Amino acid sequence: MRTIDVDRLQTYGNIQTNSLIDRFNRIHSGTSRLAYTPLMNYQTLRTQLYTDYEAMDTDAIIASSLDIIADEATLKNEQGEVLHIKSSNDKLQRVLYNLFYEVLNVEYNLWSWIRTMCKYGDFYLHLEIAEKYGVYNVLPFSVYDVQREEGQNPANPSYVRFKVNLNQAYGYATNTEKDHYLENYEVAHFRLISDPAYLPYGRSYLEPGRKIFKQLTLMEDAMLIHRIMRAPEKRLFYVNVGNIAPNEVDAYMEKMKQRIKKVPYVDPQTGEYNLKYNMMNLTEDFYLPLRGNDTSTKIDTLKGMEYAAIEDVSYLRDKLFAALRVPKAFLGYEKDLTGKATLASEDIRFARTVERIQRIVVSELTKIALVHLYTQGFDNSELTNFELSLTTPSIIYEQEKVALWKEKVDLANQIKDNDLMSSDWIYQNLFHFSEEQYQEYRNQIIEDKKRAFRNTQIESEGNDPVESGVSFGTPHDLASLYGKGRYDKGNVPLGYDEREVGRPKEKSSNYGTQSHSLGKDPIGSKGMKEPLKEPIGTGATWTLENTKVEFLKNKKMLEEIKFKKTNAMAEPSVLDESNIKDI
């Protein structure tokens, strides 16, 4: 089966009736909520905290951080898969691929599931299950409408059920509160477990920055108020009142202000053009009368008050970044930073945080897979014969692991080459393998050697040892075939057996005949006894007798040369008769 979720119910639920649609009404509603106090437990404050998380999600930095976390946790691997499924059972693997990619649509839905879980600390999925078909659809529940209940059955302490408010979750048009209970296998509860004080619920990813967010909001409001009320520049008018009587100065100043500040005004009712006095406010100018020696009228500029608390806002903002654990550079606050291959490659701590979130998500997806497989009839060892994994968000993180293994292997080779320690010590102390593990690895190495030998035999000899049961062309085979006692039947290797040991009694059918490739006399034994018919020199025939005569002539010539050389050097030569020994 394949689910086409065109209404996006798996992500948002029933939009018309689900409480997610009126979450902002909950924030701004006039209902009295309990204020935060450490004396009250999390169960009482849970709804209030959810309201704070909703307000925090409206902030640009926090909303971007949640988006980045969800993006990094749902990266695709080299095969283009968000969720990788590995199993030795092909049928089971196909079933799980159908579940996650065709039914649950993880490529689209997993991003919003992870973001909601990080925002609230909890996320609930109602699994719709059919017998023999497994999970055929999922519906998300709002965190406001679900309660997790544990320890309700004394006989079974591990019993878990979920209490759902039907009015909100399913949109029942009734005034009475309807509660519905779902079993543990019917709900997938994604939760960030980091603090036992929040159990049985998860702790929001935003909780460390909740107090800082409120402080930062107040500081930003104070900064804006100051900018509006105190920052504008004003003009300062110095008016010369001359010899005007002191009791008439105020009237004269008001007359001056009216003359300067009057602005054209059109009455909207009558349409008449009038000069209406513009009331003076905090941003208005100042008028000061002058008398005495300074008789000139002048205008100065009064500088606005500078706000010196920008450092306070930056301090609180940096603390918020520390609480969110997202590098500032990728939120646009460090533009000069280079080398932004990936977000997690800049901050390894953030990569580890994302990996922890991925492990939580994988554990709950495994629960969904188990329910689906069990419903379809898988049991015993087949039920758990699979492994789910999400893509690691950091290339640098992977490179560190590879570099660590490379250094360990190099160190192991040096220890082994110098005969410092045994291979058992290397396995136990350097790689931290148990005895059972490294014995298994040694057996696997032997299997690799066998596989390599088989490939070599097929490539060089055209022989598959698995099928024939024999080997050809190995050094042992050749030594047994051509070594001492090779004609003994017991020394001939298998595959090289002859019908009769020794030289063949019957000669070749064409050996010594004209049909032979080398003629009737292949080795020339008969031709050696006959004189050569080829003319040499002046046309004389070269016979065996001629060969003997020429040999004697050459011998006599060598003796004469030797005698002359001996007399010339006056010392015995190597070629003297006395130095030549008979063999």
- 115 & 49 share domain: yes
With respect to residue 72, please indicate whether it lies within any of the assigned structural domains.
yes
Q: Are 136 and 256 in a shared domain?
A: no
The answer to whether residue 505 is domain-embedded is: no
Q: Are 290 and 332 within one domain?
A: no
Looking at the fold, whether 191 and 237 belong to one and the same domain comes out as no
Looking at the structure, tell me whether residues 46 and 81 fall in a common domain: yes
CB atoms within 10 A of CB 281: 6
**Same-domain check for residues 194 and 250:** no
So what's the pLDDT on residue 279? 44
Q: 115, 97, 122, 136: which is closest to 42 by C-alpha? A: 122
- Output the CA torsion sign for 430, 433, 439, 445: negative
Choosing from 360, 390, 420, the residue where a domain stops is 390
DSSP string, 453-479: HHHHHHHHT---HHHH----S-HHHHH
Which value, to the nearest 10 degrees, does the dihedral of the CA atoms of residues 524, 526, 528, 529 take? 180
Dihedral of the alpha carbons of 89, 90, 93, 99, in degrees to the nearest 10: -130
Within a domain: 449: no
SS3 536: strand
Q: Are residues 21 and 141 in the same domain?
A: yes
Kindly state whether residue 88 falls inside one of the protein's structural domains.
Answer: yes
Q: Are residues 103 and 38 in the same domain?
A: yes
**What is the β-pairing status of strands 234-240 and 286-290?**
parallel
Same domain, 127 and 201: yes
Tokens of 189: 């509860």
**Are 343 and 68 within 8 A, CB to CB?**
yes
242 within domain boundaries: yes
Residue ending a domain, among 327, 362, 390, is 390
Q: What is the pLDDT of residue 571?
A: 54
At 256 the pLDDT is: 76
Instruction: Give me the number of domains the chain comprises.
Output: 3
Q: Are residues 110 and 164 in the same domain?
A: yes
Do residues 186 and 278 both lie within one domain? Answer: no
pLDDT of residue 274: 58
Task: Say what the pTM is.
Answer: 0.62
**Which of 123, 121, 148, 89 lies closest to 13, judged by CA?**
123
In a domain, 508, yes or no: no
Its domain, for residue 370, covers 9-215+318-390
Which residues sit opposite 150 in a β-bridge?
Answer: 160
The verdict on residue 474 lying in a domain is: no
| pLDDT digit string (tens) for the chain, length 583 residues | 677 776 667 766 654 444 444 444 444 444 444 444 443 455 667 888 898 999 999 999 999 999 999 998 999 888 889 999 999 999 999 999 999 999 999 999 999 999 999 999 999 999 999 998 999 999 999 888 888 988 888 888 889 999 988 665 555 544 555 678 999 999 999 999 888 778 888 899 999 999 999 999 988 888 887 777 766 667 777 777 877 888 888 888 888 777 666 555 666 777 765 555 444 454 566 666 766 666 566 767 766 666 666 788 888 888 888 888 888 777 776 654 555 455 555 667 788 889 899 999 999 999 999 999 999 999 888 888 999 999 887 776 777 788 888 999 999 999 999 989 999 999 999 988 899 998 999 999 999 999 999 999 899 888 888 888 888 888 877 776 665 555 555 555 555 555 555 555 555 566 677 766 667 777 777 666 655 554 444 444 555 566 666 667 766 777 766 665 555 555 555 555 555 555 4
Q: Give the domain-ending residue among 390, 425, 446.
A: 390
In a domain, 468, yes or no: no
CA angle 93, 97, 98 (to 5 degrees): 115
Is residue 59 classed as helix, strand or coil in its secondary structure? coil
287 lies in the same domain as 245: yes
